[in-house]
């Protein structure tokens, strides 16, 4: 039984609209979107999130095959006030979380992925486009 139909539908419709808008401009979307994470590049972030296979544990829109369910969906991670159940969702906290989750939240099941600071910045830049 689905209890949240509108929430499920709306983001995919919005993304469909965005994809159309991107297709319409030859420059594409990434060049027009500015990262909210200092030093983070949205396109590089997408590449890294794909490469590190975060999608084995997370649903991540825009990442092929990212349909894992041992972690929460990252569908609207850019809209959340808190991540990992209580950490304020700021770019700095997100970058730190991605690098050393256990240091941010002892006992968490999210594993450290061995990211550099720069890689985490790029990934955070991409994640914040997911709203």
96 near ligand HEC, judged by CB under 6 A: no
Backbone torsions φ then ψ of 31, nearest 5 degrees: -65, -25
Pick from 42, 46, 66, 98 the residue near ligand HEC by CB under 6 A: 98
17 versus 111: smaller Cβ distance to ligand HEC = 111
Q: How many residues bind ligand HEC (CB under 6 A)?
A: 24
Q: Residue 82 has what DSSP assignment?
A: E
59 near ligand HEC, judged by CB under 6 A: no
The pattern of x and - marking residues 13 through 42 that bind ligand HEC according to CB under 6 A reads ------------------------------
Would you state the structure tokens that stand for residue 88, as one six-digit string?
A: 């304020």
Q: Exposure pattern of 24-35 as b/e (b: 16+ CB <10 Å)?
A: eeeeeebeebeb
CA 10 to chain centre: 17
63 near ligand HEC, judged by CB under 6 A: no
In angstroms, give the least distance from the CB of 16 to ligand HEC.
23
Backbone torsions φ then ψ of 99, nearest 5 degrees: -80, -50
Would you state the structure tokens that stand for residue 83, as one six-digit string?
A: 């991540």
In the block, which residue shows the tokens 């349909």? Answer: 67
Return the range that interacts with ligand HEC (CB under 6 A); candidates 8-16, 17-25, 35-43, 68-76: 68-76
CA dihedral 76, 79, 8, 112 (to 10 degrees): 30
Q: Enumerate binding residues for ligand HEC (CB under 6 A).
A: 49, 52, 54, 56-58, 70-72, 74, 77, 80, 83-85, 98, 105, 108-111, 113, 123, 127
């Amino acid at each position: 039984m689905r209890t949240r139909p509108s929430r499920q539908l709306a983001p995919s419709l919005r993304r469909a609209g965005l994809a159309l808008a991107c297709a319409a401009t030859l420059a594409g979307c990434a060049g027009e979107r500015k990262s909210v994470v200092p030093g983070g590049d949205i396109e590089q972030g997408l590449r890294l999130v794909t490469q590190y296979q975060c999608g084995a544990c997370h649903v991540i829109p825009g990442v092929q095959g990212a349909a894992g369910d041992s972690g929460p969906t990252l569908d609207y991670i850019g809209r959340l006030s808190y991540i990992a159940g209580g950490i304020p969702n700021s770019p700095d906290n997100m970058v730190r979380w991605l690098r050393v989750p256990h240091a941010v939240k002892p006992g968490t099941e999210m594993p450290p992925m061995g990211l550099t600071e720069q890689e985490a910045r790029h990934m955070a830049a991409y994640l914040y486009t997911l709203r």
